[in-house]
């Protein structure tokens, strides 16, 4: 016998009236429904596929090694109404469950891990999620990732680090950052790298195990705390969570959220610093002589890494 569908109090007769097969939207109170209407006017974070070729440094090799191929696939179009209903009802319930089209949808860490096909941690592999801020030397990280004379900007009126420019990194690190701010830690910082994204980028480049399910779950919770402000994150993950419990929607009601995938064409547009050779994983540059040094005449130069203390 099929399980009974959970019943939810309906406060209005709001329907998707553009379709003859419309499914009634369900909200616990008129206030929740009003928040849904407001959320419909918000933009969605433009998620991107990460599809490098075997000739793009070691990007493809790294994706395969981490088992992230399913997660890096180009996301499909998703329905705006379903994503918004998920979020406003999740904010109202605040218990790890929400209601979409009358169906109970769970968004626990384990469920998110399942829908994104997160791989298991390998024996002996460091776990990025277990590290604290003290485990990251932000000055050394920037010195290692960036061209010489790159510095952190500070938060206004403080000595706390804020951002550094994306353009100071080689294109392979920039590609990872573009994927991070679209799919893992959504951010409006397109031209600067935040502290939070820097730590995640460093973990990826070091080969740490990243519990994506936990990161996305925490990101959903952050958005729910301010669910009527900012762009709506993780739309494709939300759609997958809804699909596995049987939520359906008319195909013509989908919202195309794809941006151009991060692929060889995208990487070709990322201008490189001409002072050295980029590391194939994204860890800065190497060159024959440091900026300001005169190369020795008639002598082979040792390769040096572009970093400053």
**Whose structure tokens read 């706390």?**
160
At 19 the pLDDT is 39
Please state which of the ranges 10-14, 22-26, 37-41, 194-198 shows the lowest mean pLDDT.
10-14
Residue 277 CA to residue 205 CA, distance in Å, equals 17
Q: How much of the chain exceeds pLDDT 70, in percent?
A: 82
The secondary structure of 241-294 as a DSSP string is HHHTTT----GGGEE--PPPPEEHHHHHTSPPPTTSEEPSSSS-EEESS-TTPP
Instruction: For residue 36, give the 3-state DSSP assignment.
Output: helix
Q: What is the mean pLDDT of residues 223-248?
A: 88
Distance CA 25, CA 21 (A): 13
pLDDT value of position 293 = 54
pLDDT band at 260 (very low <50, low <70, confident <90, very high): confident
Note the pLDDT tens digit of each residue in 158-189.
Answer: 999 999 999 999 999 999 999 999 999 998 88
Residue 4 has pLDDT above 50, yes or no: no
Structural contact between residues 282 and 173, judged by C-beta atoms closer than 8 angstroms: yes
Report the predicted TM-score, pTM, of the whole model to 2 decimal places: 0.84
Angle of helix 59-66 relative to helix 171-179, nearest 10 degrees?
A: 40
Query: What does the alpha-carbon distance between residue 6 and residue 29 come to, in Å, rounded to a whole number?
Result: 17
- pLDDT bin (cut points 50, 70, 90) of residue 13 is very low
Provide the 3-class DSSP secondary structure of residue 25.
Answer: coil
Q: Is the pLDDT of residue 153 over 60?
A: yes
Q: Is 100 helix (H, G, I), strand (E, B) or coil?
A: strand
Mean pLDDT value of segment 278-300: 67
């Amino acid at each position: 016998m099929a399980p009974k569908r959970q019943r939810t109090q309906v406060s209005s007769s709001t329907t998707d009236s553009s379709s003859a097969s419309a499914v009634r939207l369900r909200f616990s109170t008129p206030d929740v429904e009003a928040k849904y209407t407001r959320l419909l006017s918000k933009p969605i974070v433009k998620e991107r596929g990460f599809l490098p070729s075997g000739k793009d440094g070691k990007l493809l090799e790294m994706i395969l090694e981490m088992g992230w191929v399913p997660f890096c696939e180009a996301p499909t179009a998703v329905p705006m109404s379903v994503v918004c209903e998920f979020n406003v009802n999740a904010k109202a319930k605040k218990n790890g469950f929400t209601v979409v089209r009358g169906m109970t949808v769970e968004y626990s860490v384990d469920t998110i891990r399942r829908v994104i096909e997160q791989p298991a941690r390998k024996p002996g592999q460091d776990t990025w999620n277990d590290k604290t801020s003290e485990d990251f030397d932000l000055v050394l990280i920037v010195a290692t990732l960036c061209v010489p004379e790159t510095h952190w900007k500070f938060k206004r009126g403080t000595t706390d680090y804020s951002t550094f420019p994306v353009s100071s990194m080689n294109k392979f690190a920039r590609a990872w950052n573009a994927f991070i701010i679209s799919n893992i830690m959504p951010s409006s910082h397109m031209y600067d790298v935040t502290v939070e994204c820097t730590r995640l980028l460093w973990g990826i480049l070091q080969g740490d195990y990243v519990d994506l399910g936990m990161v996305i779950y925490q990101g959903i919770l952050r958005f729910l705390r301010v669910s009527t402000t900012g762009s709506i994150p993780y739309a494709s993950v939300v759609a997958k969570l809804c699909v596995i419990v049987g939520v359906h929607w008319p195909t013509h009601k989908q919202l195309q959220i794809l941006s151009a995938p991060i692929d060889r064409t995208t990487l070709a547009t990322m201008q490189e610093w001409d002072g050295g050779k980029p590391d194939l994983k994204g860890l800065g540059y190497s060159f024959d002589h440091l900026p300001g040094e005169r190369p020795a005449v008639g002598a082979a130069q040792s390769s040096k890494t572009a970093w400053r203390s």
